[in-house]
Copies of this chain bind each other. A is one copy, B any other.
């Protein structure tokens, strides 16, 4: 149940055996079936979720009913609406399982208690945030500078696991393209090969 989590932690910091045991007590295991949600838009996000197995997405819905995917997350990654989670404000995102998934949930208070009791856990959280920050900067830069085709090719190279696992129209949504445009982009790429 905790394999992926401790693998993720140990890649970044060193915990003692006792700290790892203590750590376990703060998480709430949770299974989600495909299409079930961890968070509904408008609700307050009370969990920071680590994914042991499966894949989830977070997305917004605009006035016209179009979904915009803000994040995908697979095994070994964390997902939450950080803004809602940290400030107890209504969430603008919905978080949904795209496959049957197994999660380890951390409430705000459990997260803070863990960081107070295990300083290396706070470091782990900071290192995760640093990586997420870098990834988001790269995504902003991509949105500002790349064509539809470049966006798709770069995503497929950087995260082949996600592109293979997720319906194509969701990849389009993540890239800020329509499904039709992504279909044509892919056709173009194949024609050239």
Give the B-binding residues of A (Cβ under 8 A): 60, 62, 68, 70-71, 82-83, 86, 92, 115, 119, 122-123, 125-126, 129-130, 132-134, 136-141, 143-145, 176
- Check if B136 sits within 8 Å of A60, measured CB to CB: no
A72 nearest CB across to chain B (Å): 13
* Alpha-carbon separation in the docked complex, A51 to B138 (Å): 23
- Check if B83 sits within 8 Å of A145, measured CB to CB: no
A82 nearest CB across to chain B (Å): 5
* Alpha-carbon separation in the docked complex, A62 to B62 (Å): 31
Inside 8 A of A119's CB, which chain B residues have their CB?
Answer: 119, 122
- Check if A62 sits within 8 Å of B129, measured CB to CB: no
* Alpha-carbon separation in the docked complex, A143 to B139 (Å): 10
Contacts A126-B129, A136-B133, A140-B139: A145 and B62 contacting too (C-beta < 8 A)? yes
A151 nearest CB across to chain B (Å): 11
* Alpha-carbon separation in the docked complex, A37 to B108 (Å): 40
A82 touches which one: B83, B115, B134, B176 (CB < 8 A)? B134
A176 touches which one: B123, B130, B144 (CB < 8 A)? B144
| A-B residue pairs in contact (CB < 8 Å), sample of 8 | A70-B137, A82-B134, A83-B137, A129-B129, A129-B133, A132-B133, A136-B136, A143-B144
* Alpha-carbon separation in the docked complex, A126 to B123 (Å): 8
Contacts A140-B139, A145-B60, A145-B62: A130 and B68 contacting too (C-beta < 8 A)? no
* Alpha-carbon separation in the docked complex, A134 to B119 (Å): 23
Contacts A126-B122, A129-B129: A134 and B83 contacting too (C-beta < 8 A)? yes
A46 nearest CB across to chain B (Å): 16
